[in-house]
Amino acid sequence: MTELRTAVFPVAGLGTRFLPATKANPKEMLPVVDKPLIQYAAEEAVSAGIETLVFVYGRNKGSIVDHFDKAYELETELHNKGKQEMLAAVKNVLPSHVSCVFIRQAEALGLGHAVLCARPVIGNEPFAVLLADDLVLSEQSCLSQMADVYNYHHCSVLGIENVAEDQVSSYGVIGGTSLKSGLWELDQIVEKPPIDQAPSTKAVIGRYILSHEIFAHLANQGKGAGGEIQLTDAIAKMMKSKRVLGYEFEGRRFDCGSKLGYLQAQLAYGLQHPDLGADFAEIARDELSKLSTQ
Ligand code: G1P
């Protein structure tokens, strides 16, 4: 069995839903409480046993490279001032056994194209794809749950979630048969279908474990929904010859690519924060009571 060792982080998107915050800063660097979204995604990958992180990045994304790089000046300054806790937060962004690879995607041609850019690093191994703007709060991390499914079935696994009918057209949507509670054998996947053409209301979230055969399909993939090379379309082709499962993960997903989803994540992560949670809950209650007396 081939182990899951590599994860791809497509971070070349323009983040238009979050302008003007994303005019000069990548959406993946937006913080939730005290960590940027991309760090949550990287930590999730590491928790699933991933050792190589491949970032496919574009223009204006230099701060992502810097975030995972060594920050000599800052570290020296914090060390000299004896600020050990802050120093640890800066140094321990990733454990030392994890390495990062950065690939520049010159043109943002779509998610499928971004994943294809990682082919030279991945070769003939299975790999994970994580979209950092989908943030999942769970006891066992979402990718680690999916890795368990992969280790048992040795095939591609997509993270899926039931969504409201009016949300269906924003996602890749699956069709298939139930194998057991939470696990689906997929025979369809459609990118952003209108609700009357959707095979179900089960949406793919930004978590994928894919077998390397996806690259051959991506290499021949033309433009799809939104004029972009879609990962979903290549998965649909791969499904004809290779098994693909859909897994309904345990946990709560926040769509941090949308303003409301992002605010909800701040609230949920803020309230659960070990140092800030109790005070934040008081502040939140206070704000709500002010609202109700207005
Ligand atoms: C992408 C994928 C889509 C998936 C979604 C999950 O869409 O193309 O299939 O359901 O991520 O967040 P995007 O959000 O980039 O439009």
pLDDT digits (tens, 9 = 90+) for 99-125: 999 999 888 899 999 999 999 999 999
∠ CA(236), CA(240), CA(241), 5° rounding?
Answer: 125
Question: Which residue out of 16, 169, 170 has the highest number of ligand 1 atoms within 8 Å of its CB and is therefore the one to mutate?
Answer: 170
* CB-CB contact of 160 with 203 (8 Å): yes
205 CB under 6 A from ligand 1?
A: yes
Which among 171, 191, 207, 244 is the best mutation to test ligand 1's pocket, defined by most ligand atoms within 8 Å of the CB?
171
| Alpha-carbon gap, residue 282 to 21, rounded angstroms | 28
pLDDT at 247 over 60: yes
Is the confidence at residue 2, as pLDDT, over 80? no
Q: Count CA atoms within 13 Å of residue 264 on its CB side.
A: 15
Confidence band (pLDDT; 50, 70, 90) for 60? confident
> What integer is the mean pLDDT of 31-58?
96
- Mean pLDDT over each residue of the chain, to the nearest integer: 93
Give the separation between CA 148 and CA 202, rounded to whole angstroms.
21
Q: Whose CA is nearest to atom 7 of ligand 1?
A: 171
Tell me the per-residue pLDDT of 163-179, one tens digit each, with 9 for 90 and over.
999 999 999 999 999 99
Q: Would you say the CB of residue 160 lies under 6 angstroms from ligand 1?
A: no
**34-51: buried (b, 16+ CB within 10 Å) or exposed (e) per residue?**
eebbbbbbbbbbbebebe
| 161 Cα: distance to centroid of ligand 1 (angstroms) | 12
| pTM score, whole prediction | 0.94
The residue to mutate among 14, 111, 167, 256, having the most atoms of ligand 1 within 8 angstroms of its beta carbon, is 111
Pairing assessment for the beta strands 52-57 and 99-104 based on DSSP bridges: parallel
Q: What is the pLDDT of residue 1?
A: 56
User: What confidence tens digit (pLDDT) does each residue in 142-162 have?
Assistant: 999 999 999 999 999 999 999
Identity of the residue numbered 258: S
If one residue of 204, 208, 214, 248 were mutated to test the ligand 1 pocket, choosing by the most ligand atoms within 8 A of its CB, it would be 204
Q: Determine which residue's CA is closest to atom 9 belonging to ligand 1.
A: 172
What was the pLDDT predicted at 24? 86
Query: Distance from the CA of 169 to the center of ligand 1, in angstroms?
Result: 10
243 Cα to the center of ligand 1, angstroms: 21
Instruction: Tell me the C-alpha distance between 41 and 9, whole Å.
Output: 8
Contact 137, 210 (CB under 8 A): no
Q: Are 282 and 179 in contact (CB under 8 A)?
A: no
Per-residue 3-state assignment (H helix, E strand, C coil) for 25-80 = CCHHHCEECCEEHHHHHHHHHHHCCCCEEEEEECCCCHHHHHHCCCCHHHHHHHHH
Q: How far is the CA of 101 from the centre of ligand 1 (A)?
A: 23
Say how many Å lie between the CA of residue 111 and the centre of ligand 1.
8
- Angle, helices 142-153 vs 37-47, to 10°: value is 30
φ, ψ of residue 259 to 5 degrees: the values are -65, -45
Each residue of 79-101: pLDDT tens digit?
888 888 887 877 777 888 999 99
Mean pLDDT of 185-195: 97
Q: Is the pLDDT of residue 286 over 60?
A: yes
Q: Show the domains of the chain with their CATH numbers.
A: 6-285 (3.90.550.10)
* Pairing mode of beta strands 134-137, 252-255: antiparallel
Q: What pLDDT, in 10s, does the model give residues 193-221? A: 999 999 999 999 999 999 999 999 999 99
Sole residue written with tokens 């939470």 = 182
Closest ligand 1 atom, residue 172 Cα: 9
Q: Is 131 in the pocket of ligand 1 (CB under 6 A)?
A: yes
Ligand 1 in contact with 111 (CB < 6 A)? yes
Evaluate the CA torsion angle 18, 23, 29, 35 in order and state its sign. Answer: negative
- Ligand 1 and 235: CB distance under 6 A: no
CA dihedral sign, ordered 156, 159, 160, 163: negative
44 lines ligand 1 (CB under 6 A): no
Atom of ligand 1 nearest to the CA of 232: 9
